[in-house]
Amino acid sequence: MHLRILWVLALTSLLVLLRPSDTEALSLGYTNGKSGTYSSTVQLLTVNSRQMLPVQRSDLVFPDYLQRSHIISVYEEKVAQSPNSSIFLRLLADQYLRRFREMADVEDVLRAEQAARRSLALQPRHNQVSSMLLASALLSQHQFRSALDVLNNTQNPSVDNPNIVSLRASIQMELGDYEAAHQLLQNLTEEESNSGQNAVVARYLELTGNLASARQLLNQAMQEMDSFYTMSAETRAWFHMRTGDLAFAAGDFALSEQRYQEALDLFPRHIAAFTGLARLYAAQHRWQDALNAANQGIELMPQVETLGYKADAQLALGDQKGATETEDLIGVVAYLSKVKGIYDRALAVYYTEHGIHLTEALEIARSEVAIRDDVYAEDTLAWAAAANGQWQEAQRAAQRATRLGTEDALLQFHAGMIALHLNNREEAIKRLTQAVSLNPQFHHKYADQARQVASLLIQNSK
């Protein structure tokens, strides 16, 4: 066992030190960018290992997460012994971020930020890996513009580093500046691309109305990740989870379920995969399965979105008392988010869909747009404004949410219902029909409503 720990420690050191030019620094939204506090972005910092170890069978899993805390304790000791070593601080920051992704302990993000800042203070130049680590830590705290500033101010002659370019592009997407993201991604050449950068491109394609192309590219990236045994289990699971998300968006529920289950096989603690399964099962009205998946995710971390699926499942199964208790827990999570100053768009979505705390939902949605004006923030604002009778604000937000042609049925449904209220019947028919066409079971409640309203509008227009 001691030799195994030493081998894992040596390998993780190589991942950060030997080939910094191969480091994949990603900042990618999951659950369609609607997840809650500290979970709307995932920062993956891995390395292409094809030149270090031979390709292994893709069904094997490198259980690096089992030794994470021990590895961290070793690096903490090394830093204590050599406090002026930018390298050990860089390694430690990387491990803190890995444990954050695995365990969802917010304190690890703060530790990673501190270690990365110390590494950069000691070595401001030729330390782009620490810059990406710091940007990722800030991004996890929803400090999007600060993260972008770190990358823009990187003191490194190689400013065209493709990993930094792709990370900057992903941050610009979080901020809703899709034109800037497009310009950055155009600088990436096919020869330089790796799985991490392709995942960023896939995200851009997904948001800009090219879901089929996004699915194809992300699937290729997932397969490449699976070909390396030494790839982090959580990283590999993330790619499976994201392909599950895109399969759900396209209405391919069988594949979506398969990908989520694969993610959990690779990394059993993958909270987003449990949330994805809960959403998938809820959309199919498989309420007991939805409840089971939600409970498993909540045991790891009580996120608003996952709790919402649990409450809906409990109501559908006739457990009114249980649903009330779950709603109370959502209130506790909401309070803690407010104390930390983090606006949780998932909370605004839950309040709006359930017709409760509507004024607060609108306040949260407006605050979210001020922080990151992406299409999902605009969609959240559109639906919350509509629920509060602010129809002009709802219309403006819905138009911005759908301006890229994003093939997301829920966005199209919201825009369609808002258009209907404003007596724009043609627009309503277009949006609602598109929603059902994209994904006939996109939502456990709204999918049926979209079909019924679209059918009635079409009949009345004849």
Q: What are 196-205's pLDDT values in tens digits?
A: 999 999 999 9
Give me the sign of the Cα torsion angle 450, 455, 456, 458: positive
pLDDT tens per residue across span 223-268: 999 998 889 999 999 999 999 999 999 999 999 999 999 999 999 9
Weakest-pLDDT range from 53-62, 257-266, 352-361, 385-394: 53-62
Q: Which residues contact 374 (CB under 8 A, 6 or more apart)?
A: 33, 173, 174, 175, 176, 207
Q: Where do we find the tokens 């992406």?
A: 374
Q: Find the angle CA(227)-CA(231)-CA(233) to the nearest 5 degrees.
A: 110
pLDDT over 70 (residue 107): yes
| Phi-psi label, residue 158: left if phi above 0, alpha if psi -120 to 50, beta otherwise | beta
Tell me the mean pLDDT in the region 378-390.
Answer: 98
pLDDT of residue 21: 31
Weakest-pLDDT range from 139-148, 409-418, 446-455: 139-148
Distances (CA, A) of 38 to 64, 191, 204, 273, 315: 23, 34, 21, 16, 28
* Cβ 129 vs Cβ 160: under 8 Å: no
pLDDT over 70 (residue 157): no
Counting Cβ atoms within 10 Å, is residue 360 exposed (0-12), middle (13-18) or buried (19+)?
middle
Weakest-pLDDT range from 1-10, 175-184, 319-328: 1-10
* Cβ 414 vs Cβ 447: under 8 Å: no
pLDDT of residue 342: 64
pTM above 0.85, yes or no: yes
Give the pLDDT band of residue 7 (cuts 50, 70, 90).
Answer: very low
Transcribe 123-144 into DSSP letters: --BS-HHHHHHHHHHHHHTT-H
pLDDT of residue 430: 97
pLDDT tens per residue across span 280-312: 999 999 999 999 999 999 999 999 999 999 999
| Cα 310 from Cα 359, distance rounded (Å) | 24
Give the pLDDT band of residue 22 (cuts 50, 70, 90).
Answer: very low
Q: Find the angle CA(298)-CA(401)-CA(274) to the nearest 5 degrees.
A: 15
pLDDT of residue 58: 45
Tell me the mean pLDDT in the region 349-353.
Answer: 96
> Residue 82, SS3?
coil
pLDDT over 70 (residue 13): no
| Cα 308 from Cα 340, distance rounded (Å) | 21
Give the pLDDT band of residue 183 (cuts 50, 70, 90).
Answer: very high
pLDDT over 70 (residue 192): no
Q: Find the angle CA(280)-CA(229)-CA(231) to the nearest 5 degrees.
A: 65
